Structure 1
Amino acid sequence: MEAYLFVHFKEKKSPDGEQVYFALSTDGFNWEQVNGGQPVLWSEKGDKGVRDHTIVRTKYGKFYIIATDLSLANHFDGKYKGKWENIVRGGSKYLSLWESDDLLNWSEQRMIELGDEDFGFLWAPEVFHDLMEEDYVIHWTSALASNHFEQKSIYYSRTKDFESFTKPQLLYRKEDSGVIDSALYEENGKYYRFVKSEDNPKGIIMQKGTSLLGEYETVDAFSGEMAKLGSSTYEAPTAYKLSNGKWCLMLDFFGVEGEGQGYVPFVTDDIESGLFIRSDESFSFPYRFKHGTVLSITMEEYSRIKNGY
């Protein structure tokens, strides 16, 4: 792969921000907007707004975009009565999904229901291709009515075709706080998980394990670098491997309103070390992206997207 596609949304007060946006890069450092900075897909179902996008390339040639069904611009003050508590208890019951063969022509939006009546919401889906099982693990954040919605945790479901899904199971629950926004990666037979901890500590934590669904341990070196930031107002971790072998971790900074918020890049020479160093000076963005993921693409796909929109 020689280029990168960033699928994301924009944090705006208007409904057009909570849609599907694309950005492109040939090096993973310098990003350009697609479609003149306008959405490439619009949500027409559910809340008619989507957040927390992920994209996956399947072994059978399909691409899928999956996102949280949630629009604060459309419904925060009305349907949700201005309270996040109401979203936690009864919003985002479905995930939005689009599929494509070429990253240019997309299917009609489809709503998928992975939880049941016990799930208060489904947020921030991510997809991991499990080569061992030859299927795809969708993981997301939820809180359950049976637990009085008191602790957000990470759940998962498996699929081979994005049509049928297994019953949700618990992937990770942190004993001393809620966790949201999970991201999973594999490198040299080891598994790395990034999540946002809501307390003890507040902020992003990194964990590593030897199996996808097994036990993980916290990477202390990463925690040390996060402590140097002087702020815990980061969320939505997403990472991708650069052509030079380094890894870039994007963290979504929400500590300010408006222009200063959005993704901030951190780079490491070796993901196992956990030493991700903030690297703003190496990157350029046409605007501050919000919660999304990066897909490695070919130069042919890069040209197709750039010219197609």
Structure 2
Amino acid sequence: MPDEPYADYLLTYFTGEDHAGGEQVRFAVSRGGDPLRWDTLAGGDAVLTSELGTGGARDPFLVRRPSGDGFYLVATDLHIHRSQDWMACQRTGSRSLVVWESPDLVTWSEPWLAEVAPPTAGNVWAPEVTWHEETSSYAVYWASMLYPADDPEHEGVSYNRMLIARTTDFREFTPAQVWVDPGHSVIDSTVIEHDGTYYRFSKDEREAPTPGLDGKSVLLERSDDLLSTGWEYVTGAIGMSTDPELGIRQGEGPTVTKALDRERWYLFIDEYGMRGYIPFETDDLDTGTWTKSPGAELPVDPRHGSIVPITAAERARLVEAYAV
């Protein structure tokens, strides 16, 4: 934790594959600590760019060091605008993360690629990070399609599981383990901890609408053990509605943050192919009941990213460096 109290938020995001520069990292800062109202930095241009690997950096996730004195940002090494082939990128795509390091959110290292998935994986999508106090390491998790060892060309049928590994420096990682595998494709997991319980939001990739299934939408599970493979299901189809005033038609890329001044949580779900991030809120994580937040003012085309609380000094430094 930093010495100062948190006063605002930083949103990291990308804007999509419709144009060449959309799959790079953008920043916005909240107004007065309100997670529903944002000021875009750098004129909406990318703040961090990667030409490594595929040349893209999607799904950026920012994590503060537990000491409070620095940050890591990880992203998907994927450039769909360049390749235009989603399936090929899951069979023989990048098995690495794009990583940056910063002491202050404005001075950034050169990016590096960190290989985290085994050769049996076809991709590494939407990496996220949670500090794991019990092992004094970062738990890093992402989605990968896995193929048998006797299918080195990855030509068979597969689906995305969530994998997990641990690291202390984002250069050396423990061997990846399967973390989520319900027998069908699940991607985009994100986690928040509250009072010793972890709450995990993920995208169910099954087709929708399917009677009895929560397809193409976000579900919630909970556990008192971050590394466990046996999480309790809470609810599914979060925010789904045919009425755009009440919710979304499809969702992925969830990110969640807590209010700075009360017991309230905000869940941003990417209504992909439509409006991008749409916020929802609840005063009780255990009920699984979320309502669409009114009057949100977000950046243009915000897609799958992360929201991190920051101090007033950190916000001022970001605004000075990148301008609102």
Q: TM-score, normalised by structure 2?
A: 0.87
State the alpha-carbon separation in 1 of the partners of residues 237 and 73 from structure 2: 34
Alpha-carbon distance, 1:210 to partner: 2.1
Alpha-carbon distance, 1:193 to partner: 0.7
Q: 1:62 to 1:85 in 2, by over 3 A?
A: same
Q: 1:157 to 1:201 in 2, by over 3 A?
A: same
Question: Could you tell me which residue of structure 2 aligns to residue 121 of structure 1?
Answer: 123
Please list, as runs of the form range in 1=range in 2, the aligned pairs for 1:253-264 lying within 5 A after superposition.
253-256=271-274, 261-264=275-278
Matched, 1:305 2:318: yes
Cα displacement string for residues 243-297 of structure 1 (whole angstroms, at most 9, x for unaligned residues): 12200000000243xxxx2100000011122111111x23111313101001110
RMSD: 1.6
State the alpha-carbon separation in 1 of the partners of residues 19 and 190 from structure 2: 28
Asked whether the 8 Å contact 2:114–2:170 carries over to 1, the reply is no
Given the alignment, which residue of 262, 267, 287 partners 1:249?
267
Please list, as runs of the form range in 1=range in 2, the aligned pairs for 1:234-245 lying within 5 A after superposition.
234-243=251-260, 244-245=262-263
Q: 1:187 to 1:72 in 2, by over 3 A?
A: same
Which secondary structure state, in structure 2, belongs to the residue aligned with residue 29 of structure 1? Answer: strand
Question: Could you tell me which residue of structure 2 aligns to residue 166 of structure 1?
Answer: 174
Alpha-carbon distance, 1:166 to partner: 0.3
Q: 1:149 to 1:21 in 2, by over 3 A?
A: farther
Asked whether the 8 Å contact 1:120–1:149 carries over to 2, the reply is no
Moved over 2 A (4+): 59-62, 223-232
Alpha-carbon distance, 1:93 to partner: 2.2
Alpha-carbon distance, 1:95 to partner: 1.0
Cα displacement string for residues 47-83 of structure 1 (whole angstroms, at most 9, x for unaligned residues): 111111101101242211100011112222xxxxxx3
Which residue type is aligned with residue 227 of structure 2? L
Which residue type is aligned with residue 231 of structure 2? Y
Please list, as runs of the form range in 1=range in 2, the aligned pairs for 1:209-220 lying within 5 A after superposition.
209-214=223-228, 215-220=230-235
Which residue type is aligned with residue 49 of structure 1? G
Which secondary structure state, in structure 1, belongs to the residue aligned with residue 34 of structure 2? Answer: coil
Unmatched runs of 5 consecutive residues or more in structure 1: 77-82
Please list, as runs of the form range in 1=range in 2, the aligned pairs for 1:1-309 lying within 5 A after superposition.
1-25=6-30, 26-60=33-67, 61-76=69-84, 83-146=85-148, 148-175=156-183, 177-199=184-206, 200-202=213-215, 203-214=217-228, 215-220=230-235, 223=236, 226-228=239-241, 232-243=249-260, 244-256=262-274, 261-279=275-293, 281-309=294-322
Q: Which one has a larger percent helix, Structure 1 or Structure 2?
A: 1
Which residue type is aligned with residue 10 of structure 2? L
Q: 1:229 to 1:246 in 2, by over 3 A?
A: farther
Which secondary structure state, in structure 1, belongs to the residue aligned with residue 169 of structure 2? Answer: coil
Q: 1:245 to 1:116 in 2, by over 3 A?
A: same
State the alpha-carbon separation in 2 of the partners of residues 130 and 28 from structure 1: 25
Alpha-carbon distance, 1:229 to partner: 5.1
Unmatched runs of 5 consecutive residues or more in structure 2: 1-5, 150-155, 207-212
State the alpha-carbon separation in 1 of the partners of residues 202 and 316 from structure 2: 33
State the alpha-carbon separation in 1 of the partners of residues 286 and 195 from structure 2: 10
Deviates more, 1:152-161 or 1:6-15: 6-15
Q: 1:229 to 1:182 in 2, by over 3 A?
A: farther
State the alpha-carbon separation in 1 of the partners of residues 198 and 135 from structure 2: 15
Alpha-carbon distance, 1:155 to partner: 0.3
Asked whether the 8 Å contact 2:66–2:131 carries over to 1, the reply is no
Which residue type is aligned with residue 219 of structure 1? V
Asked whether the 8 Å contact 1:12–1:18 carries over to 2, the reply is yes
State the alpha-carbon separation in 1 of the partners of residues 119 and 265 from structure 2: 39
Alpha-carbon distance, 1:228 to partner: 4.1
Asked whether the 8 Å contact 2:12–2:25 carries over to 1, the reply is yes
State the alpha-carbon separation in 2 of the partners of residues 163 and 227 from structure 1: 39
State the alpha-carbon separation in 2 of the partners of residues 211 and 164 from structure 1: 23
Which residue type is aligned with residue 222 of structure 2? K
Q: 1:274 to 1:101 in 2, by over 3 A?
A: same
Deviates more, 1:210-219 or 1:261-270: 210-219
Q: Give the total of aligned pairs.
A: 295
State the alpha-carbon separation in 2 of the partners of residues 30 and 185 from structure 1: 21
